């Protein structure tokens, strides 16, 4: 779902950059004021967990794959505003270190996945998340999150002058629906696992449930390291290839961990493992710094 550099018109890049920066600034201010102390310890763990989950792709059909976006998972466990901040940090690290999404297109990717996607995905849970429809709200939210992020990315491509055949749009829409349902099932599995191990964990985030997520994180990394993940392109990459615009993608910076591998050993299994562990450690560190910034701000 990440848009590389070279796809979007400068006007679209500028507009999405301004919009996403404004939204993230508002979210950061809201997170500083409203984040519960019981959720502080989860900032780093959840950021690392979602980053690791996004490394594992699952075959979707028609030569495409899908992976967990994690926006709804972040929003349900952290809250709406902190989820936007954490997802922005994940996308920033992915663009600068892993060449996953463009540097100039960072504003568009944050707007699509970190702002609009999370807001749309959290809406059903905000309405029905405390009642009997809680699990339905989670799955519906994930579906809305993926569809919103994908629709915005496609709209930005069209506004940038990319011609996409109608038949290809319908195919992409069907793949996004399938991806959204898979997102819902994966998110539901994670949340239900948390509730089994710690009843009430979703409604009230307990600081000591971090070891549960760290265990899940280890499983995800193990899956990625042994190469079970699908090598097929995701929905947006597949759309770019079929629309004949994939050659436009270009990297503006030499990312040290491009394609989630060490540059000096790109074909080794331990190269992917080391890159993944580096990303997980970095995102966890960012979460710790965010937590300290919030605590310092409140105590000051």
Confidence class of residue 223 from pLDDT cuts 50, 70 and 90? very low
Higher pLDDT, 296 or 124: 124
Residue count of the chain, please give it: 300
pTM of the complete model beyond 0.85:
no
Residues 6+ apart with CB under 8 A from 76: 122, 125, 129, 138, 187, 191, 202
Give residue-wise pLDDT tens across range 175-203: 899 999 999 998 988 888 766 655 555 65
Q: State residue 297's pLDDT score.
A: 64
Alpha helices in the chain (DSSP H): 10-34, 42-54, 71-78, 80-98, 106-109, 117-128, 134-159, 166-197, 210-225, 235-242, 269-299
Higher pLDDT, 138 or 200: 138
Q: How many CB atoms lie within 10 A of CB 63?
A: 12
Three-class DSSP category at 64: strand
- Over 70: is that where the pLDDT of 247 sits? no
What is the Cα–Cα distance from 224 to 17, expressed in whole angstroms?
A: 32
- Over 60: is that where the pLDDT of 218 sits? no
pLDDT, mean of residues 12-24: 93
Q: State residue 25's pLDDT score.
A: 92
Residue with tokens 């540059």: 263
Q: State residue 117's pLDDT score.
A: 92
Residues of the chain above pLDDT 70, percent: 73
> Are the C-beta atoms of residues 271 and 265 closer than 8 Å to each other?
yes
Q: State residue 40's pLDDT score.
A: 65
Give residue-wise pLDDT tens across range 168-179: 889 888 989 999
Q: State residue 268's pLDDT score.
A: 65
Q: State residue 97's pLDDT score.
A: 85
Lowest mean pLDDT across 23-27, 93-97, 225-229: 225-229
- Over 90: is that where the pLDDT of 38 sits? no
Q: In the chain, what are the domains?
A: 10-299 (1.10.1760.20)
The three state secondary structure string of 131-186 is CCCHHHHHHHHHHHHHHHHHHHHHHHHHHCCCCCCHHHHHHHHHHHHHHHHHHHHH
Put residue 255 in one of left, alpha, beta given phi > 0 → left and psi -120 to 50 → alpha. beta
Lowest mean pLDDT across 63-77, 84-98, 185-199, 225-239: 225-239
Residues of the chain above pLDDT 90, percent: 25
Higher pLDDT, 230 or 49: 49
Q: State residue 280's pLDDT score.
A: 81
Q: State residue 167's pLDDT score.
A: 87
Q: State residue 2's pLDDT score.
A: 84
């Amino acid at each position: 779902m990440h848009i590389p550099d070279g796809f979007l018109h400068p006007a679209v890049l500028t507009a999405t950059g301004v919009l996403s920066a404004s939204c993230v600034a508002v979210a950061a201010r809201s997170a500083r004021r409203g984040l519960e102390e019981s959720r502080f310890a989860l900032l780093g763990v959840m950021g690392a967990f979602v980053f690791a989950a996004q490394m594992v792709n699952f075959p979707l059909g028609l030569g495409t794959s899908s992976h967990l976006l994690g926006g709804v998972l972040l929003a349900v466990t952290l809250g709406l505003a902190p989820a936007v901040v954490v997802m922005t940090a994940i996308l920033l690290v992915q663009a600068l270190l892993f060449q996953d999404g463009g540097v100039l297109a960072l504003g568009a990717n944050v707007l699509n996945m970190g702002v609009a996607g999370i807001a749309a995905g959290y809406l059903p849970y905000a309405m029905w998340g405390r009642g009997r429809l809680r699990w339905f709200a989670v799955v519906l939210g994930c579906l809305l999150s993926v569809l919103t992020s994908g629709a915005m990315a496609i709209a930005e491509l069209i506004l940038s002058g990319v011609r996409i055949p109608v038949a290809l749009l319908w195919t992409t829409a069907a793949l996004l629906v399938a991806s959204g349902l898979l997102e819902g099932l994966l998110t539901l599995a994670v949340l239900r696992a948390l509730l089994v191990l710690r009843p009430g964990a979703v409604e009230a985030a307990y600081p000591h449930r971090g070891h549960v997520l760290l265990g899940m994180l280890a499983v995800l990394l193990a899956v990625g390291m042994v190469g079970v993940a699908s090598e097929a392109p995701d929905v947006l990459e597949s759309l770019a290839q079929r629309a004949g615009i994939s050659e436009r993608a270009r990297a503006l910076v030499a990312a040290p961990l491009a394609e989630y591998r060490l540059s000096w050993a790109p074909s080794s299994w331990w190269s992917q493992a080391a890159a993944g562990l580096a990303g997980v450690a970095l995102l966890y560190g960012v979460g710790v710094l965010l937590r300290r910034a919030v605590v310092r701000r409140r105590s000051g």
